[in-house]
């Protein structure tokens, strides 16, 4: 099944939720809206022609204050059909909130915690949204473009 | 010089306190920490364990003690300068990580077809040698964790031979920066093929001895069989890859599935777990799969050596840096590339803007990071000593968990 066919299938089932397809990305990507994604992701996982049973990776990207958007990118892989798919969600920077997929793929739990930790994107419905790589009392999210390093951490000068 | 640090009691507060609330504990339950400095956690992993007597109720991993901001660094340097950082992620198998990374950038540049065959074969050769070294550490320290000391010494001795070979190629023992984007640092040193072939002959019987010494050892079997069973559906749902997934019974190896580099031309099997000593997907199966993979990697090494000393023979004209691009400027877009590391699927996500040779975003999907996330699930209700056995069988490298 090609990405175009997947796109048509999703478009027919979910209509306006599916925004656009980008064939230049590797693997080819589909952009969707941010609201109520649960059914769409369940569809991707359980449809008997897609069966995206493995979530390889979730990436968060900050486009900076000029773009004023953030992106969350899911890399899905279907083991039985050997299909790749990149799913993109674009969100406004001020309300960086995305529904969690950790109830669909458990691997998303830690990936989403990592994105929250480094970019400050919140995941709605996540069971345990804490920092994972940085210490709990760290201030700021370092991969945000406008992040300012705190001057001292526990009395130790950071910017030496 | 100004004083950098002044003492204040406030500075000594615990930055990562215990997650479990002590008031919610039931009668007889207790919380304790394993790590971050504990030999059986294979690095700086801290496990917060809620126990009832000897039974583990819950495990909460606290990670990040080795966080070195790989992704932040990668945003500010060109593609070729990121390679040494990639080495330091999974420092047990730097060649494999380099290979995955270089392959990804070449894919973005569209020069995958231009890479000479000899370069590709050398890459596969060193990557497979490194895979054996990584599995040796995994098996050896695993034996050490559960009380078998001799296999560790044997394996460290044989691993040292591999590290010497790799040191000979590029000068570094563990962190190589040997695989470059579009080529290699150097060609193989003179007579490397012969010495490597000698080593292969030397290693084969050693692996057989090891199998009798460790894998069929009654104590080892008792400690690992039917412990930490990971069912296949759970493994896939948790995104677990590599030997751990294969031990759960799925023949899934990216070297075959994706068929990248020259792997389609090589003949090797993909060992999977069988549940021979207990249940499918237990700790014994995971170690067994690693053991069998050493045999398979050795097979690949042999085939590469035959190719490298016959058809793709050393040649004065051959320049391993001939196709190293002067300017690494991929066209704008998003890329996800992945490759099979000794521990699982190592993925890189790149976003490039097409205007600079610095990636806008470079995210590494670490296999150990994902494999560790399954630990709380499979260690509920086991004994504390079995928890050590499970952590060891996951073969974590904390450099990659924390990046």
- Note the pLDDT tens digit of each residue in B319-328: 888 888 888 8
Comparing B3-17, B58-72, B103-117, the range with the smallest average pLDDT is B3-17
**Under a CB-based contact definition with an 8 Å cutoff, are residues A37 and A99 in contact?**
yes
**Under a CB-based contact definition with an 8 Å cutoff, are residues B22 and B347 in contact?**
no
Examine the pLDDT at B1 and tell me if it is beyond 70: no
| Side-chain-side CA neighbours of residue A57 (13 Å) | 23
Residues with Cβ within 8 Å of A2's Cβ and at least 6 positions away in sequence, in order, are none
Domain count, chain B: 2
The answer, for B335 touching chain A at a CB cutoff of 8 Å, is yes
Q: Which two tokens stand for residue B346?
A: 């190592």
Same domain, B33 and B114: no
Same domain, B52 and B159: no
> What is the predicted pLDDT for the residue at B3?
64
Same domain, B207 and B334: yes
CB contact under 8 A, A75 and B67: no
Report the DSSP beta bridge partners of residue B46: B62
Could you tell me the pLDDT band of residue A73, with boundaries at 50, 70 and 90?
A: very high
**Under a CB-based contact definition with an 8 Å cutoff, are residues B237 and A101 in contact?**
no
- Note the pLDDT tens digit of each residue in B64-104: 888 888 888 888 899 889 999 999 888 888 999 999 999 99
Q: Is B45 a domain residue?
A: yes
Q: Where are the domains of chain A?
A: 3-157
Could you tell me the pLDDT band of residue A128, with boundaries at 50, 70 and 90?
A: confident
| Cα first-last separation, chain B | 33
CB contact under 8 A, B257 and A59: no
Q: Is B287 a domain residue?
A: yes
CB nearest B237 (choices: A73, A106, A114)? A106
Instruction: State how far the alpha carbon of B342 is from the alpha carbons of A101, B133, B320, B397, in Å.
Output: 28, 9, 25, 11
Examine the pLDDT at B2 and tell me if it is beyond 70: no
Same domain, B140 and B273: yes
- Which of A107, A109, A144, A141 has the alpha carbon at shortest distance from A125? A109
Q: Average pLDDT for residues B9-26, to the nearest whole number?
A: 83
Q: Is B103 a domain residue?
A: yes
- Write down the architecture of domain A3-157 according to CATH: 2-Layer Sandwich (3.30)
> Domain range holding B51?
9-62
Same domain, B28 and B124: no
Examine the pLDDT at B397 and tell me if it is beyond 80: yes
Examine the pLDDT at B5 and tell me if it is beyond 80: no
Same domain, B152 and B13: no
> What is the predicted pLDDT for the residue at A160?
63
Same domain, B101 and B166: yes
Same domain, B41 and B130: no
> What is the predicted pLDDT for the residue at B134?
92
Cα gap B182→B180, rounded to integer Å: 6
CB contact under 8 A, A57 and B373: no
The residue of chain B nearest to residue A79, with distances taken between CA atoms, is: B252
Same domain, B223 and B280: yes
Q: Average pLDDT for residues B242-250, to the nearest whole number?
A: 89
pLDDT over 70 percentage in chain B: 99
Same domain, B31 and B105: no
Cα gap B332→B335, rounded to integer Å: 10
> What is the predicted pLDDT for the residue at B215?
86
> What is the predicted pLDDT for the residue at B153?
92
How close is the nearest chain B Cα to the Cα of A42, in Å? 13
The count of residues in chain B is 403
Same domain, B208 and B281: yes
Cα gap B24→B264, rounded to integer Å: 55
- Which of B363, B362, B370 has the alpha carbon at shortest distance from B401? B370
**Under a CB-based contact definition with an 8 Å cutoff, are residues B290 and B135 in contact?**
yes
Could you tell me the pLDDT band of residue B225, with boundaries at 50, 70 and 90?
A: confident
Report the DSSP beta bridge partners of residue A154: none
CB contact under 8 A, A155 and B6: yes
Average pLDDT, chain A: 87
- Note the pLDDT tens digit of each residue in A19-69: 888 888 888 888 888 887 888 888 888 888 888 888 989 999 988 888 888
Average pLDDT, chain B: 88
Q: Is B400 a domain residue?
A: no
**Under a CB-based contact definition with an 8 Å cutoff, are residues A108 and A102 in contact?**
yes
Q: What is the pTM of this model?
A: 0.91
């Amino acid at each position: 099944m090609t990405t175009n066919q997947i796109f048509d299938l999703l478009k027919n089932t979910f209509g306006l939720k599916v925004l656009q397809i980008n064939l230049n990305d590797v693997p080819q990507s589909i952009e969707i809206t941010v609201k109520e994604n649960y059914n769409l992701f369940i569809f991707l996982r359980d449809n008997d022609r897609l069966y995206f049973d493995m979530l390889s990776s979730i990436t968060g990207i900050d486009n900076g204050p000029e773009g004023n958007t953030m992106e969350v990118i899911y890399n899905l892989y279907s083991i039985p059909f050997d299909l790749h798919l990149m799913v993109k969600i674009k969100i406004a920077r001020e309300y960086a909130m995305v529904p969690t997929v950790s109830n669909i793929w458990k691997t998303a739990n830690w990936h989403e915690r990592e994105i929250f930790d480094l970019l400050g994107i919140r995941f709605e419905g996540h069971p345990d949204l804490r920092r994972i790589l940085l210490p709990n009392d760290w201030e700021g999210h370092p991969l945000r473009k406008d992040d300012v390093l705190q001057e001292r951490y526990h009395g130790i000068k950071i910017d030496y | 010089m100004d004083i950098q640090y002044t003492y204040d009691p406030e500075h000594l507060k615990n930055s990562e306190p215990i997650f479990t609330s002590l008031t919610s504990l039931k009668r007889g339950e207790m919380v304790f920490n394993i790590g971050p400095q504990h030999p059986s956690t294979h690095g700086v992993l801290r496990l917060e364990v809620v126990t009832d007597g000897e039974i583990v109720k819950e495990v909460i991993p606290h990670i990040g003690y080795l966080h070195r901001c790989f992704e932040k660094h990668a945003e500010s340097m060109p593609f070729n300068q990121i390679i040494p950082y990639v080495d330091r992620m999974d420092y047990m198998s730097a060649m494999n990580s380099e290979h995955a990374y270089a392959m990804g950038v070449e894919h973005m540049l569209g020069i995958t077809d231009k890479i000479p065959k000899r370069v590709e074969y050398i890459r596969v050769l060193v990557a497979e040698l490194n895979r054996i070294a990584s599995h040796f550490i995994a098996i050896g320290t695993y034996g050490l964790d559960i009380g078998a000391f001799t296999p560790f010494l044997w394996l460290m001795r044989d691993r040292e031979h591999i590290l010497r070979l790799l040191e000979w190629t590029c000068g570094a023992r563990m962190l190589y920066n040997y695989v470059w984007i579009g080529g290699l640092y150097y060609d193989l040193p003179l007579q490397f093929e012969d010495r490597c072939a000698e080593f292969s002959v030397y290693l084969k019987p050693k692996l057989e001895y090891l199998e009798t010494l460790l894998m069929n050892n009654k104590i080892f079997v008792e400690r690992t069989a039917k412990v930490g069973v990971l069912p296949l559906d759970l493994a896939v749902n948790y995104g677990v890859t590599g030997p751990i997934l294969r031990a759960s019974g799925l023949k899934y190896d990216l070297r075959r599935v994706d068929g990248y580099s020259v792997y389609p031309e090589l003949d090797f099997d993909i060992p999977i777990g069988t549940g021979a000593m207990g249940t499918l997907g237990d700790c014994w199966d995971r170690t067994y799969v690693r053991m069998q993979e050493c045999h398979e990697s050795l097979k690949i090494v042999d085939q590469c050596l035959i190719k490298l000393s016959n058809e793709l023979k050393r040649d004065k004209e051959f320049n391993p840096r001939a196709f190293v691009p002067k300017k690494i400027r991929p066209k704008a877009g998003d890329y996800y590339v992945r490759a099979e590391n000794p521990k699982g699927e190592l993925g890189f996500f790149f976003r490039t803007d097409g205007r600079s040779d610095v990636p806008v975003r470079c995210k590494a999907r670490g296999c150990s990071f994902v494999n560790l996330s399954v630990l709380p699930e499979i260690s509920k209700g086991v004994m504390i000593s079995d928890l050590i056995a499970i952590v060891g069988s996951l073969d974590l490298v904390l450099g990659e968990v924390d990046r």
